Chains A and B, each alone.
Chain A
Amino acid sequence: MHPDSRLDRQLALLRRSVAEAAPPATTDAAIARAIAAAKGRPRRASSRSWIAWPIALAASIAMIAFAIRQLPPQAGDADARDSAASNAARAKFMPLVPVAEIERAGDALLVPARVPRSTIAELGLPIDPARAGDPVDAELLLRRDGALLAVRFLD
């Protein structure tokens, strides 16, 4: 067997052997303690308004899931066919994962963010080509582990 093949095979074995490796619970606890301790220290004031944590409770998840279900199907097929409808769609959350997963997420987080405008186009919604390079204000719905669930565009 070629030495590189043997080396690659062994590297693949090693990769697989740690694929599920995770820090011990003691590390999780240490980080939780660090967060709690940091909360007690004075910090700089926030420069933007912020929605307190945890913002999205189970009830709001259900509401968001409802809003998601109200989305018009295939909104971007006929480029800017109805700009008003498009804007309305942007005000609602758009799921990035199956809706059932959002409903299961429970105590989710809502995070204001600036995302590339191309994300709107990726979702099939029309964008103004003149502003294609500008980021767009959005709100991201995240699972407690930070994974994306849904997005809502604000402008």
Chain B
Amino acid sequence: MRPLSRAALTVTQSAADAALAARVACGDCDALDPLYRRHRNDVYRFALLWSGAPAVAADVVQDVFVHLLTHADDFDPQRGALLPWLIGIARNFVRRRSGFPESDPLDDERWTQQRADDATPDVAIAVRQDVEQLRRAIAALPPRYRDVLVLVELAERSYAETAAICGCELNTVRSRLSRARGLLARSLGLHDSDTSVATRG
């Protein structure tokens, strides 16, 4: 017997997730426990990176899995794996808990500067390599750019998964990521003459 390839393992694991989610949808609440154990850290990290606030991230994790408990039948395994679906839900909750409207503000640069000034007055002049500074700069990005930056660059989701989570086209993910990196570089005082992004499936 050969070992399963990574891809086959992923597909089989997705089938396990789907079966467990179906059990939750049928009222078997205990089936939530392995799903929670398996995916809680990914959801938490996404919410933490998005919000920059551990307390918000913890609340979002709770929101997401209670949502799964009560709305598991909304998950359609034909449309993708469970984790991206959970992260999509986390995205909605973290926006809400962070006080963002569903629609994004249009004036990105003015918004970004205002948020950066509000959050951290010394961001522009502080030490550039500081991780906390980067975290704050990310938290100052407009939500639609923060979504793709956190998902692609930090949560290491594919472009396709990111597009599905954000409900946008693949090219939109690419352009938003490029824009996000440009805004981030500017916020951190790095010259953003080149905001090229790596290619990811």
Which residues from A are CB-within-8-Å of B16? 111, 113, 140, 142, 146, 148
Q: By the criterion CB–CB under 8 Å, are B48 and A18 in contact? A: yes
Q: Is B30 an interface residue (CB 8 A)?
A: yes
Mask, A1-40, CB within 8 Å of B = 1, is 0111011011101110110011110111011101100110
Which residues from A are CB-within-8-Å of B3? 96
Q: Is B124 an interface residue (CB 8 A)?
A: no
Q: By the criterion CB–CB under 8 Å, are A145 and B37 in contact? A: yes
| Residue among A21, A125, A144, A148 making CB contact with B33, cutoff 8 Å | A144
Contact A27/B69 with A6-B128, A21-B41, A47-B26 known, Cβ cut-off 8 Å: no
CB distance from A39 to the nearest CB of B (A): 5
Q: Is B196 an interface residue (CB 8 A)?
A: yes
Contact A75/B1 with A11-B154, A115-B11, A146-B17 known, Cβ cut-off 8 Å: yes
B1-37 residues at the A interface, CB under 8 angstroms:
1-5, 8-9, 11-13, 15-20, 23, 26-37
Q: By the criterion CB–CB under 8 Å, are B8 and A27 in contact? A: no
CB distance from A76 to the nearest CB of B (A): 7
| Residue among B28, B41, B65 making CB contact with A46, cutoff 8 Å | B28
Q: By the criterion CB–CB under 8 Å, are A7 and B188 in contact? A: yes
Which residues from A are CB-within-8-Å of B41? 21-23
Q: By the criterion CB–CB under 8 Å, are B15 and A46 in contact? A: no
| Residue among A94, A138, A142 making CB contact with B34, cutoff 8 Å | A142
Q: By the criterion CB–CB under 8 Å, are B38 and A145 in contact? A: yes
Q: How many A-B pairs fall under 8 Å by CB?
A: 187
Mask, B54-83, CB within 8 Å of A = 1, is 100110011001100110000000000000
Q: Is B122 an interface residue (CB 8 A)?
A: no
Which residues from A are CB-within-8-Å of B1? 71, 73-76, 94, 123-125
Q: By the criterion CB–CB under 8 Å, are A3 and B17 in contact? A: no
Mask, B127-151, CB within 8 Å of A = 1, is 0110100110010000000000000
Q: Is B49 an interface residue (CB 8 A)?
A: yes
Q: Is A45 an interface residue (CB 8 A)?
A: yes
Give bound CA distance, A76 to B4, whole Å: 13
| Residue among A9, A71, A96, A145 making CB contact with B12, cutoff 8 Å | A96
In this complex, the interface size class of chain B, counting residues with CB under 8 Å from chain A, is 35 or more
Contact A27/B131 with A22-B40, A113-B16 known, Cβ cut-off 8 Å: no
Q: By the criterion CB–CB under 8 Å, are A24 and B20 in contact? A: no
Q: By the criterion CB–CB under 8 Å, are B44 and A22 in contact? A: yes
Q: By the criterion CB–CB under 8 Å, are B69 and A35 in contact? A: yes
| Residue among B34, B54, B131 making CB contact with A109, cutoff 8 Å | B34
Contact A114/B15 with A13-B134, A35-B29, A53-B28 known, Cβ cut-off 8 Å: yes
Q: Is B194 an interface residue (CB 8 A)?
A: yes
| Residue among B2, B5, B62, B134 making CB contact with A30, cutoff 8 Å | B62
Which residues from B are CB-within-8-Å of A147? 13, 38
Give bound CA distance, A3 to B195, whole Å: 8
Give bound CA distance, A49 to B176, whole Å: 46
14 contacts between A and B (CB under 8 A): A7-B184, A14-B154, A18-B48, A22-B40, A23-B41, A35-B33, A39-B29, A46-B26, A71-B1, A143-B34, A145-B37, A146-B16, A146-B20, A147-B13
